[in-house]
Chains A and B, each alone.
Chain A
Amino acid sequence: GAGVSQSPSNKVTEKGKDVELRCDPISGHTALYWYRQSLGQGLEFLIYFQGNSAPDKSGLPSDRFSAERTGGSVSTLTIQRTQQEDSAVYLCASSLYGAGPYEQYFGPGTRLTVT
């Protein structure tokens, strides 16, 4: 079946512009996660959705970052007024029910470059 998809795969933007990153999780997965992976670094948790609600927004690095999920499916991560330090690979993952024994399935990521 279809896995997690993300778009765009690459995004180059100028400093100060807004960007939207999209994630399509696996159908039927209730949990959706956003992470950021900087060059040579581990995964930085950004936000978690259970259904359409986001009980854990603790990882969002600033108020320039926001995310929403609609219909318990597609999610959009928005970064306003991008800065060069926002350059990274943004990963989305989905899981059947969230934490516990349920593995996460990762998308291929969106590579964001802020010039």
Chain B
Amino acid sequence: GNSVTQMEGPVTLSEEAFLTINCTYTATGYPSLFWYVQYPGEGLQLLLKATKADDKGSNKGFEATYRKETTSFHLEKGSVQVSDSAVYFCALSDQDTGNQFYFGTGTSLTVIP
């Protein structure tokens, strides 16, 4: 079946530090992969996505590359800011096995000045 395993948090970093949040997946088909972000007091919003192997999604300085060989979609940012403090969710959807989206458990990031 389909599932997403995400690095557990919480993660605390100093401003300008490098961020990696690991995400691996299991899928029987050819899924699309997503990172969603939930800022404090706000709803979930799409951060970036990749729809096929070797695609790189990017937005707001964040990047993630769809790696089929390692079934991974790790989120990275070279220099985090206080405003990046949020909860990050990795997700996949796979048309070939139904129309459900599968979400990871979320990783809470706090960036301190």
Contacts and interface: CB of A to CB of B under 8 A. Distances in A.
Query: Are both chains from one complex?
Result: yes
Contact of A99 (B44, B98, B103, B106): B98
Secondary structure call for the B interface: strand
B94 to A, nearest CB: 6
Interface stretch (A13-21, A37-45, A65-73, A76-84): A37-45
Interface residues of A, number: 25
Interface residues of B, number: 23
A109 interface: yes
A72 to B, nearest CB: 15
A100 B89 contact: no
Nearest to B95: A100
24 contacts: A41-B106, A42-B103, A43-B89, A43-B103, A43-B106, A45-B101, A45-B102, A45-B103, A48-B100, A55-B98, A56-B98, A91-B44, A98-B95, A99-B93, A99-B100, A99-B101, A100-B32, A101-B49, A101-B51, A102-B93, A105-B46, A106-B36, A106-B43, A108-B43
